[in-house]
Structure 1
Amino acid sequence: MNTQDTIISYAKKTIAEEARAIAHLEELIDEEFSNAVESILHSKGRVIITGIGKSAIIASKIVATMNSTGTPAVFMHAADAIHGDLGNILEDDVVICISKSGNTPEIKVLVPLIKSFKNTLIGITSNKESFLGTEADYVLHAFVEKEACPNNLAPTTSTTAQLVMGDAVAVCLLYLQGFSSRDFAKYHPGGALGKKLYLRVSDITSRNEKPEVSPSSNINEVIVEMTEKRLGATAVTENGTIVGIITDGDLRRMLTTNTSSFEGLTAKDIMSPNPKRINNEAMAVDALEQLEGNSITQLLAEENGKYAGFIHIHDLMREGIL
């Protein structure tokens, strides 16, 4: 077997072994899991998640998932906890302790201290008969038969199982708390996904120039307005109502069709009537859909039937929506 075949073989074997272990976790979800989730749901405090070694890294990721889905959580390294960080734990907090064996020295020191504080303790472990498994108020059984590592030493399958169990807890809490897509956007305002859920057309048009001419404006006035406002287009309005649009393309067509003289031409003569438009309070992602659906690069926005500004596809690209 050549090197490439060996690599592919081991990769597939690793994925298959971890997939089997994760599939088995479904059989381990029971009433104790449900009770553990309810203890978090009804708690007035936060979730403190702790672990040692690779389990600590998994704990940190679960904390991030919970915080982004509406469950306040704090990471506390098990080694640091017994050297001062126990002060992170408040009276109403629920503590989740993660350990494959459940018998590491740090865990054996930490668990009795947590229990002395009277906080609810949830253990995530592969060994229900371990110190952590017997001392925790609730045990989430993240059992794995063996690691994907051929020496059965490097945490691979076990940490994957811990992560999946933590995700299961976080998602259950998300459902029970009625956490919506708009809630998600509130916690992710800087990301593209969040912007798709909260960014409105008005957030963009308010930052753009607002080129505008009347139907009777002469060609010089149209060109000056488009040049000064630098959007490559201008709205044509009458008493604040949109009646047309003039783009760079309209000007180029004017140049090719009126080769003799432009004197006497007005905005009304070259505008495109009834242009595509969108409500200023619509979501920016809806503007993107309309732009792409009509193969155009800009939309006029209106509010209460009046011209409100421009939104350009470049605006959406800058926001990371496209």
Structure 2
Amino acid sequence: MNLPNNIALTAKNVLKAEAEAIARLADFIDESFENCVQAILQIKGRVVVTGIGKSANIAQKIVATLNSTGTPALFMHAADAIHGDLGMIQAEDFVICISKSGNTPEIKVLVPLLKRKGSKLAAMVSSTDSYLAQTADFILNAHVEREACPHNLAPTTSTTAALALGDALAVSLLEARGFSTSDFASLHPGGSLGKRLYLKVEDIYTQNEAPSVKENATVKEVIIEISSKRLGATAVVTKDSGDLIGIITDGDLRRMLNKYDSTEGITASTIMTPSPLTITPDTYAAEAMAIMQNKSITQLIVAKSGKFEGFVHLHDLLKEGLI
């Protein structure tokens, strides 16, 4: 086995070659690309993405991206299409065929059959002079000069370019549809990603204790409340209206002991941090996490219309897998 003299250099050259190829794709986004997006937006059916070999693998990933961003799509292997799978395509569907050369035998057999179905056809090709490009309704130009493979044989740069162009298509459709964060969340309810999109503070904080003391509470009462509720802090509310006016943490108690020789006559209002940072129950949990990280704190008061509701703790968010 002959190892390259500089493995790192080889790897860097591959990445640079593919990055440059993707950057050049921006020059190929033209009227045909825009018309393709507009046509997909008008269809009543689905987007069917097909290809053969490595292009088929890229087609599957593009289908997954389209489905998750609001464009119904399905994958059809080009070889299987001419052996029965063509039946999955309806006249209202839109077909995207991926092929670097655009001249493979399977593609030449498939294209006339697609035309007979009446579906619109987009060619994602590297060669715009190819059979596929010349017979398609739209051209998605994924041209690359050469593969990153030193022999210019293994599909590397070409498949990366097709993948990137598929992302460009999916995001263009997403924005044109006005696909929102809530739409995205409805399609991704599972895992940490789903939780970041739909989990709210109100889904979490009610499971915790809600430590609070009146503004005139003694230091002993404050310590008992913090210790018994085990959140490392307590809210401070007014004795009459119960409005939230402050927060006392373990750190505030330690600073008090350093400042005063005696706790006699000291009340919650003396040692509290006034006007504490709060969030509302309908805040997304991911936003609460971001606030805690930014402020280097471990808990946030949940309040609504100036009234104390409870606490959400960093441990709650970690338990939900938001990091």
Does 1:44 find its partner at 2:65?
A: no
Structure-to-structure mapping, 1:145-184, within 5 angstroms: 145-184=145-184
Tell me the equivalent position of 1:245: 247
Tell me the equivalent position of 2:209: 209
The SS at the match of 2:39 is helix
Residue-by-residue CA offset, 1:278-305 (whole Å, 9 max, x unaligned)? 1313444554454455443222121011
Compare 62-71 and 184-193 and name the one that shifted more: 184-193
Question: How many angstroms does 1:124 deviate by?
Answer: 1.0
Question: How many angstroms does 1:73 deviate by?
Answer: 1.9
Does 1:122 find its partner at 2:122?
A: yes
Tell me the equivalent position of 1:69: 69
| Contact 1:236 1:271 (C-alpha < 8 Å) held by counterparts | no
| Contact 1:278 1:287 (C-alpha < 8 Å) held by counterparts | no
Tell me the equivalent position of 2:303: 302
Query: 2 CA distance for matches of 1:48 and 1:98?
Result: 11
Compare 249-258 and 103-112 and name the one that shifted more: 249-258
Give unpaired runs (5+ residues) of structure 1: none
The SS at the match of 1:179 is coil
Change (3 A) 1:80 1:302: same
Does 1:113 find its partner at 2:113?
A: yes
The SS at the match of 1:149 is coil
Query: 2 CA distance for matches of 1:266 and 1:212?
Result: 17
Change (3 A) 1:122 1:248: same
Query: 2 CA distance for matches of 1:224 and 1:241?
Result: 21
TM-score (norm 1): 0.81
Structure-to-structure mapping, 1:53-68, within 5 angstroms: 53-68=53-68
The SS at the match of 1:206 is helix
| Contact 1:246 1:267 (C-alpha < 8 Å) held by counterparts | no
Tell me the equivalent position of 2:15: 15
TM-score (norm 2): 0.81
Residue-by-residue CA offset, 1:174-220 (whole Å, 9 max, x unaligned)? 33223344544444455666655655433332333222333455666
Question: How many angstroms does 1:273 deviate by?
Answer: 4.7
Change (3 A) 1:93 1:207: farther
Query: 1 CA distance for matches of 2:258 and 2:168?
Result: 65
Question: How many angstroms does 1:236 deviate by?
Answer: 3.0
Aligned residues: 319
Change (3 A) 1:28 1:72: same
Question: How many angstroms does 1:306 deviate by?
Answer: 0.8
Does 1:268 find its partner at 2:290?
A: no
Residue-by-residue CA offset, 1:241-289 (whole Å, 9 max, x unaligned)? 22333333455567778888x8x88863775152513131344455445
| Contact 1:37 1:169 (C-alpha < 8 Å) held by counterparts | yes
Tell me the equivalent position of 2:315: 314
Change (3 A) 1:67 1:277: same
Compare 116-125 and 178-187 and name the one that shifted more: 178-187
Change (3 A) 1:269 1:308: closer
Change (3 A) 1:226 1:88: farther
Tell me the equivalent position of 1:81: 81
Compare 169-178 and 245-254 and name the one that shifted more: 245-254
The SS at the match of 2:36 is helix
| Contact 2:247 2:276 (C-alpha < 8 Å) held by counterparts | no
| Contact 2:236 2:269 (C-alpha < 8 Å) held by counterparts | no
Code of the residue aligned with 1:299 in structure 2: it is L
Residue-by-residue CA offset, 1:52-79 (whole Å, 9 max, x unaligned)? 1111111122122222332222222223
Compare 39-48 and 15-24 and name the one that shifted more: 15-24
Change (3 A) 1:213 1:162: same
Query: 2 CA distance for matches of 1:212 and 1:13?
Result: 61
| Contact 1:213 1:267 (C-alpha < 8 Å) held by counterparts | no
| Contact 2:126 2:143 (C-alpha < 8 Å) held by counterparts | yes
Compare 149-158 and 272-281 and name the one that shifted more: 272-281
Give unpaired runs (5+ residues) of structure 2: none
Change (3 A) 1:111 1:302: same
Report percent identity of matched pairs. Answer: 55
| Contact 2:218 2:268 (C-alpha < 8 Å) held by counterparts | no
Code of the residue aligned with 1:97 in structure 2: it is C
Question: How many angstroms does 1:230 deviate by?
Answer: 2.6
